[in-house]
């Protein structure tokens, strides 16, 4: 049975944020890493470090951080300065500032996130910016459903970062802290892909006149959310398999599998939108006569209300080819449940299982 293809787990990319790059650790980071982390203010918040923290342990840790990605066990991002900018002028390049780590649990559907920033870099929003970027990557690329974090109760800055990223407290426990030489109380936080996405959606602000061609104000005064009209297509091949596309990193809801399609533009019919979107996203040609209206969905999301027309299509010209960084996959209707999909798509699964 088909399972969603997953990210090649052995690869750890370099991620970029506005101000920083998040790179794999290298042997030459050892000295800087030791300098930053052998500091009680940092060590006291992290469970698996002794204090003082010997240089030799740093070297072993870097070896682990460079081999774990190859085994799909964890990803350790070094927070580094970006190329020179006015903000960081006269400072050496690639200066290490901290770390964000993702470690996968055995069944790979859950991972743990941990992070720290060297004391001299506190109060600049560095952890906040970098943690959000790593979570975005993890939910877009890894086959995980939830992310977990354990935080000591007085680490208020860290708790704020988690809450801003859609984490909720799910309990309390104790963890062995090497630096204290004993078990220590920690709060357990968890985020799902959905709770993270909701946290990324900005509160509603009225659309500018230029965006009114894509987003229309809802006519329900009591629900002044922008109404987003989308047209999507369910391509079905001769084996009764359906084409799914995984939303690429950087788009809202990245990592979820959807039916290809997109937003309706001004003066477009749903069919016109779909023909345009299938050309842009998959480089295939459809004609209006090949599109059979299937159903529509009406779904409230945190920042907008989605109305999506869905068409079935069994004939097209060309071979679907991902043109916008998405991953595509053919699957049977009975396999759709294995793919994490947007909330709006979930009611479509039983309909398609009945039909195909
Ligand atoms: N295409 C598609 N969009 C879906 C599905 N389910 C669902 O909730 N959506 C939501 C996600 C997005 O908020 C919106 C579609 O927007 P989109 O990102 O595909 O729009 P687009 O192709 O025009 O992309 P862009 O030019 O705005 O980057 O509808 C689905 O099955 N297919
Ligand atoms: Mg699209």
pTM listed for this prediction: 0.83
Q: Kindly report, residue by residue over 329-347, the tens digit of the pLDDT.
A: 999 999 999 999 999 999 9
**Predicted confidence (pLDDT) at residue 218 exceeds the cutoff of 60:** no
Q: Kindly report, residue by residue over 49-106, the tens digit of the pLDDT.
A: 999 999 999 999 999 999 999 988 999 999 998 865 555 555 556 689 999 999 999 7
Dist CA 314 CA 89 (whole Å): 58
Residue with tokens 């990319």: 13
Closest alpha carbon to 244 in 342, 163, 134, 113: 342
Residues 295-313 have a mean pLDDT of 94
252 lines ligand 1 (CB under 6 A): yes
**Predicted confidence (pLDDT) at residue 205 exceeds the cutoff of 50:** no
Residues 306-312 have a mean pLDDT of 98
Over the chain, what is the mean pLDDT?
Answer: 89
For 68, how many CA atoms within 13 A lie in the half-sphere containing its CB?
18
Using an 8 Å Cβ cutoff, are 338 and 2 in contact? yes
Measured in Å, residue 309 CA sits from the centre of ligand 2 at: 13
pLDDT at 4: 74
**Predicted confidence (pLDDT) at residue 223 exceeds the cutoff of 80:** no
Sequence spans of domains, the chain: 15-200, 211-355
Q: Is 23 helix (H, G, I), strand (E, B) or coil?
A: strand
Residues 33-61 have a mean pLDDT of 94
The CATH homologous superfamily of the domain defined by 15-200? Gcn5-related N-acetyltransferase (GNAT) (3.40.630.30)
Task: Tell me the percentage of the chain whose pLDDT exceeds 90.
Answer: 76
The answer, yes or no, to whether the previous bond of 52 is cis (omega within 30 of 0) is yes
- The more confident residue out of 208 and 344 is 344
CA angle 66, 72, 75 (to 5 degrees): 50
306 lines ligand 1 (CB under 6 A): yes
| Buried b / exposed e along 306-332 (16+ C-beta atoms within 10 A) | bbbbbbbbeebeeebeeeeebbbbbbe
Question: 211-355 architecture in CATH?
Answer: Alpha-Beta Complex (3.90)
**Predicted confidence (pLDDT) at residue 213 exceeds the cutoff of 60:** no
Q: How many CB atoms lie within 10 A of CB 227?
A: 16
230 lines ligand 1 (CB under 6 A): yes
259 lines ligand 1 (CB under 6 A): yes
Identical fold for domains 15-200 and 211-355, yes or no, is: no
Q: Indicate which residue's Cα is closest to atom 2 of ligand 1.
A: 261
**pLDDT band per the 50, 70, 90 thresholds, residue 208:** very low
Q: Indicate which residue's Cα is closest to atom 21 of ligand 1.
A: 262
Enter the tokens of residue 288: 């209006």
Q: Indicate which residue's Cα is closest to atom 1 of ligand 1.
A: 261
Measured in Å, residue 264 CA sits from the centre of ligand 1 at: 10
Dist CA 72 CA 142 (whole Å): 10
């Amino acid at each position: 049975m088909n399972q969603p293809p997953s990210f090649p787990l052995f690869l750890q990319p370099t991620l970029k944020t506005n101000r920083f790059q998040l790179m794999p650790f290298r042997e030459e980071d050892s000295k800087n890493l030791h300098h930053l982390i052998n500091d009680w203010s940092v060590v006291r918040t992290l469970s698996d470090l002794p204090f003082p923290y010997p240089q030799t342990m740093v070297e072993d840790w870097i070896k682990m951080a460079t081999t774990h990605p190859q085994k799909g066990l964890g990803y350790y991002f070094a927070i580094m300065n970006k190329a020179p900018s006015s903000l960081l002028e006269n400072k050496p390049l690639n200066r290490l500032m901290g770390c964000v780590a993702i470690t996968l649990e055995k069944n790979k559907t859950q991972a743990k996130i941990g992070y720290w920033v060297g004391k001299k870099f506190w109060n600049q929003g560095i952890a906040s910016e970098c943690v959000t970027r790593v979570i975005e990557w993890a939910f877009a690329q890894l086959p995980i459903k939830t992310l977990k974090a354990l935080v000591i109760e007085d680490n208020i800055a860290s708790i704020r970062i988690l809450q801003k990223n859609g984490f909720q407290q799910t309990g309390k426990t104790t963890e062995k802290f090497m630096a204290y030489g004993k078990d220590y109380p920690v709060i357990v936080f968890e985020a799902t892909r959905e709770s993270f996405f909701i946290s990324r959606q900005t509160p509603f602000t009225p659309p500018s006149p230029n965006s009114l061609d894509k987003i229309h104000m809802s006519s329900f005064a009591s629900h002044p959310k922008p109404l987003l009209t989308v047209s999507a297509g369910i391509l079905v091949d001769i084996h009764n398999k359906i084409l799914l596309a995984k939303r690429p990193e950087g788009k809202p809801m990245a990592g979820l599998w959807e039916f290809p399609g997109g937003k309706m533009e001004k003066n477009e019919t749903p069919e016109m939108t779909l023909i345009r979107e299938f050309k842009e996203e998959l480089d295939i040609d459809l004609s209006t006569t090949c599109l059979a209206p299937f159903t529509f969905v009406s779904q409230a999301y945190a920042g907008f209300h989605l109305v999506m027309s869905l068409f079935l299509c069994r004939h097209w010209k060309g071979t679907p080819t991902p043109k916008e960084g998405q991953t595509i996959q053919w699957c049977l209707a009975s396999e759709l449940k294995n793919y994490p999909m947007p909330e709006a798509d979930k009611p479509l699964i039983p309909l398609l299982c009945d039909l195909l």
